[in-house]
Structure 1
Amino acid sequence: MKTRIEMVNQILVEWDPIGVGPELAIDEYQGYVPIILQFCYDKKKLMACLHNIVKNEMGLECDLNNKKCNSDIQLICDRIIQAYNMPLK
């Protein structure tokens, strides 16, 4: 049984926005999960949180007016919300 923390971390590992690879990504993104979980109740706030992490914490170029960047973050946001709302067994 996976916890919400593990599920969200796995989504971040699969996304791997800085491209560290799956082995390093497991630890690389773990610190962002508690922050992300605070915003899973509101898609707009979660989008802003993810954008802030990518741009300000990871230092990547990401403008939400850029179609690709916006689409990537929206997809990850949707996956995180779906995982967050899954009933835990």
Structure 2
Amino acid sequence: MGVRARIETALTEALKPERLEVIDESHLHAGHAGARPEGETHFRVRIVSGAFSGLSRVDRHRRVNQLLAGELSGPVHALAIDARSPEEPGRP
């Protein structure tokens, strides 16, 4: 299973999102620090989940980072997060 699939599985199992996008942006960072030729180092996550209701933006990011700690300590060099609750305007 690739890094993207592991991220999707971890977030889906823990947060039961209404919407989830995991975008591999590694190609945009070729030649930069942390980039590997095979990719899967830089990701963007857009997620809408009821699990984020009542949480601050910082707490949402902390939750995602905790769930992906294994990936972040290994193959993932950078992770951009847009985490929202279903009732928020401007949902991703």
Structure ranking higher on relative contact order (CA contacts 8 Å, 6+ apart): 1
Taking structure 2 as the reference length, the TM-score comes to: 0.38
- The structure in which a higher percent of residues are strand is 2
Please identify the structure whose Cα radius of gyration is greater: 2
- Kindly indicate which of the two structures has a greater share of residues assigned to helix: 1
Compute the TM-score of the two structures, normalised by the length of structure 1: 0.38
